[in-house]
């Protein structure tokens, strides 16, 4: 069986060229990066949240996360400038394809009552955004070892010029979109 990266390099360019009539191979939409982000604004109220978030991201992605800090103070949210408010990981190359393959084939089917992804998860610029409420749907995370439950966001950034191009590429990659919306 071919890996997602092999399919992306061999089969998908031909299918997209046939569908959209590209004249130049540089016109083909491609995957740039995947950003896995966790917003932890409540870290000052919940002790131990930031180390838990960093451990989760490191386990899920296999890469060290970068702590994001507040750029300016927001009195309404009781946040000071420079205070840690989240963590993120940017995946490219082999790690990006490995993560995407695990997300599609293992993680998404583990969501309770999962019936497919909505087409609204792809924006007009061709990027895919998915918010998850619980990090324990990833098989790498054991529920018993999890101290705090938190959500995370997965963003797949592409070079697609339109939503139609991106949807076609994501369907060819095996993204499970809802049947009634297609």
Q: List, for residues 61-97, the tens digit of each pLDDT value.
A: 989 999 888 777 776 666 777 777 789 999 999 999 9
CATH code for the domain defined by 30-160: 3.30.1440.10
∠36-40-44 over CA atoms, to 5°?
155
Q: List, for residues 12-46, the tens digit of each pLDDT value.
A: 898 998 888 888 888 899 999 999 998 876 656 66
Sign of CA dihedral 106, 107, 111, 113: negative
Predicted TM-score (pTM) of the model is: 0.84
Whether 6 has a pLDDT exceeding 70, the answer reads yes
Residues 158 and 109: their CA atoms lie apart, in Å, by 24
Domain limits, the chain:
30-160
Q: Retrieve residue 181's tokens.
A: 């919306």
Residues 37 and 152: their CA atoms lie apart, in Å, by 6
CA 144 to mean position of chain CA atoms: 24
Q: Retrieve residue 12's tokens.
A: 């998908």
Distances (CA, A) of 5 to 11, 14, 62: 10, 15, 18
∠120-125-127 over CA atoms, to 5°?
60
């Amino acid at each position: 069986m071919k890996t997602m990266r092999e399919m992306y390099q061999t089969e998908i360019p031909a299918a997209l060229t046939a569908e959209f009539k590209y004249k130049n191979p540089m016109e083909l939409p491609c995957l740039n990066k995947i950003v896995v982000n966790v917003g932890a604004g409540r870290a000052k109220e919940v002790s131990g949240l930031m180390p838990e978030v960093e451990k989760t991201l490191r386990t899920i992605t296999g890469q060290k996360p970068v702590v994001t800090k507040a750029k300016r103070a927001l009195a309404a949210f009781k946040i000071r400038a420079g205070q840690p408010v989240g963590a993120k990981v940017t995946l490219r190359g082999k790690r990006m394809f490995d993560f995407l393959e695990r997300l599609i084939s293992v993680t998404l089917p583990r969501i309770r009552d999962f019936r497919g992804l909505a087409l609204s998860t792809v924006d007009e610029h061709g990027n895919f955004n998915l918010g998850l409420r619980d990090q324990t749907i990833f098989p790498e995370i054991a529920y018993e070892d999890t101290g705090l439950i938190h959500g995370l966001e997965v963003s797949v950034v592409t070079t697609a010029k339109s939503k139609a191009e991106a949807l076609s590429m994501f369907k060819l990659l095996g993204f499970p979109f809802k049947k009634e919306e297609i």
